[in-house]
Amino acid sequence: MRAVRGEIGRLRLGFTVIAFYGDLPEAVRLFRSRFPDVTVELVEMNSPQLEAALMANEIDLGILHPPLAAAELTVHPLRPLPLVLALPSSHRLAARSVVKVADLAEEPFLIAPRAIGPSIYDRIIALFDREGINPNIVQEVSPMTTLTGLVAAGAGLGLVTAGIATVVRPGVVFRPVRPTPPSLPVAAAWHGPRLSHVGQRFLEVVAACDPR
């Protein structure tokens, strides 16, 4: 009976680095405290790798970034992550409370590879295009935590999630951008139409952590 209620068993949970800078750590902590008889196995991958792991039944649940390529996966949308600009604290734009996209013309720009997130990549490029700007992409880099390190080193500027911006990084400041950049979509995904009982209990905890 406890297994049917999702109170005992195993949850193999995959996630992206970016997703772990949101509500996910608190959700995992709460889930473990409420369901101590469920073994939680955590693995970090990028979204394409998580899709492959779900299709191979190597993990039970993935927290990743749509859209997904595999039609066999069920997708449950979660709260999207807003993006802000990371720039060196010594940069001329760091003195501004808000940075305009037009201010980024000719600035060296860092962005995640399109192969990892084609949708968000295209939407960021479209943001520049609407302002009549061809972004000066000097390097493609992943994950966003590495991007902030390159910003600190003076390699360029780039968009990161607001969750990453809450972590103090010497030499880096974060500013909102106008027009507002696209948010990074987040979703839970699993293989097949039905999620395990343990997985269902975990998603209930995730929903409870969502401030919406």
Measured between alpha carbons, how far is 77 from 87 in angstroms, rounded to an integer? 30
User: Is residue 2 domain-resident?
Assistant: no
User: Is residue 190 domain-resident?
Assistant: yes
User: Is residue 1 domain-resident?
Assistant: no
pLDDT tens digit sequence for 161-210? 999 999 889 999 999 999 999 999 999 999 999 999 999 999 999 999 87
Q: How many independent structural domains does the chain possess?
A: 2
Measured between alpha carbons, how far is 203 from 76 in angstroms, rounded to an integer? 9
- Whether residues 87 and 176 fall in one domain: yes
pTM attached to this predicted model: 0.89
- Whether residues 29 and 88 fall in one domain: no
- Whether residues 71 and 109 fall in one domain: no
pLDDT tens digit sequence for 145-175? 999 999 999 999 999 999 999 988 999 999 9
Measured between alpha carbons, how far is 102 from 125 in angstroms, rounded to an integer? 13
**Boundaries of domain holding 123:** 83-182
pLDDT above 70: residue 3 = no
Cα-based distances in Å from 47 to 16, 52, 116, 158, 202: 7, 9, 7, 20, 20
CATH number at residue 76: 3.40.190.10
User: Is residue 171 domain-resident?
Assistant: yes
